[in-house]
Amino acid sequence: MPQLDTATFLPQLVWLLISFVVLYVLMAKVALPRVAEVVDGRRKRLEHDLEEAARLKRETEKAIADYEQALAQARAKAQAIAGETRARISAEQAAVKAKLEAEITERTKAAEASILAAKQQALSQLKAVAAGAASDVVARISGTAPSNDAVSTAVDQALAKRGA
């Protein structure tokens, strides 16, 4: 094998050194700067993306804060409207209730007056019926008809004793 021949070691080492230097120069001048550019570009893009993400996060947080503020204002407005509606409905109910109570009171008074008039009419008819019945009873028992004044007085006294 020619690589193990000790007589050719020195030229092989020279060519190895020349190859190594050429390869080193090519790597240092061509390949490594390109790799450095790619790495630097990725680093810059990553920094830009991180800055963009931070900016978007700030915008999102601001939008969330604005949304929460608008939501709180909407809730407060809804509660105010609900309170106003409750107050208005309560006032309307109170007015209707007062009107109905007045109407019921008026109808009650009219009914009481009607009942009192019916009672008075019944009592007056009762007086006449009682006087007629008493007159008939006295006439049948005694055989003589009593006077209307005497029967009327006796019926009035009997009704007065009963409290009618």
Which tens digits make up the pLDDT trace of 40-63? 999 999 999 999 999 999 999 999
Query: Which tokens belong to 158?
Result: 């009997």
> In the chain, what are the domain boundaries?
10-162
**Which parts of the chain register pLDDT below 70?**
1-3, 163-164
Let me know if 102 is exposed, middle or buried by CB neighbors in 10 A (0-12, 13-18, 19+). exposed
Exposure class string for 72-81: b at 16+ Cβ within 10 A, else e = eeeeeeeeee
- Please tell me the predicted confidence (pLDDT) of residue 48: 97
- Please tell me the predicted confidence (pLDDT) of residue 162: 79
- Please tell me the predicted confidence (pLDDT) of residue 112: 95
Number of H helices, E strands in the chain: 3, 0
- Please tell me the predicted confidence (pLDDT) of residue 2: 66
Let me know if 151 is exposed, middle or buried by CB neighbors in 10 A (0-12, 13-18, 19+). buried
- Please tell me the predicted confidence (pLDDT) of residue 3: 67
Rounded to whole angstroms, the Cα distance separating 67 from 122 reads 79
